[in-house]
């Protein structure tokens, strides 16, 4: 009778472990969490001093209305009903204050010009926009 040699030995396959896939999933999850955190921190760092200074002030509806009539009514209409520029009634429901400030100061939507009043005047303009009926 011949004995089985090392070449004839049957090697049982090693049991597959779920550990490598679990570790991979945890690494991917940690990377995604880091990316989300980085985006949140980047967004927070974009808050410029002008916007912060504006939001720290209490605006006057009366002064904001005066500013609007002098600088904005030519395009948005005396009652903010829209002419060349859009109707601004309910704009505070479509955009938050930070977005409104950026819209005004950036001039990103032609033909709207760049306009950056001092922070108190911008706070007044925001108060006026909030006072418009929907």
Q: Check residue 128 and give its pLDDT.
A: 98
Query: What whole-number distance in Å separates Cα of residue 36 and Cα of residue 52?
Result: 24
Distance CA 132, CA 80 (A): 8
More confident residue, 29 or 61: 61
Q: Once rounded to an integer, what is the mean pLDDT over residues 39-44? A: 67
CATH number for the domain that contains residue 92: 1.10.760.10
Q: How many angstroms separate the CA atoms of 45 and 51, rounded?
A: 12
Q: Does 18 fall in a domain?
A: no
Number of domains in the chain: 1
Res 10 pLDDT > 80:
no
Q: pLDDT band at 37, cuts 50/70/90?
A: confident
Question: Do the domain assignments include residue 89?
Answer: yes
More confident of the two residues 117 and 108 = 117
Two structure tokens written together for 14: 């090693």
21 pLDDT more than 80: yes
Task: Determine, yes or no, domain membership for 16.
Answer: no
Element (DSSP H or E) covering residue 52:
helix 49-55
9, part of any domain: no
Structural domain contains residue 14:
no
Examine residue 105 and state whether it is found in any structural domain, yes or no. yes
pLDDT per residue over 47-86, tens digit each? 789 999 999 999 999 999 999 999 999 999 999 999 999 9
53 within some domain? yes
Beta carbons of 58 and 94 less than 8 angstroms apart: no
> 11: Cβ–Cβ under 8 A, 6 or more apart, which residues?
none
Q: What is the mean pLDDT of residues 8-27?
A: 69
Residue 85: domain span: 49-131
For residue 127, is it within any domain? yes
């Amino acid at each position: 009778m011949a004995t089985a040699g090392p070449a004839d030995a049957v090697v049982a396959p090693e049991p597959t472990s779920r550990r490598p896939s679990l570790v991979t999933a945890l690494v991917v999850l940690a990377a995604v969490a880091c990316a989300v955190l980085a985006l949140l921190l980047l967004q927070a760092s974009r808050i410029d001093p002008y916007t912060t200074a504006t939001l720290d002030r209490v605006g006057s509806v009366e002064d904001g209305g005066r500013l609007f009539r002098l600088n904005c009514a030519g395009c948005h209409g005396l009652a903010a009903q829209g002419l060349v520029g859009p109707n601004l009634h309910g704009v505070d429901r479509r955009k938050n204050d930070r977005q409104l400030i950026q819209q005004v100061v950036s001039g990103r939507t032609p033909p709207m010009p760049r306009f950056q009043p001092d922070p108190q005047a911008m706070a007044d303009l925001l108060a006026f926009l909030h006072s418009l009926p929907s």
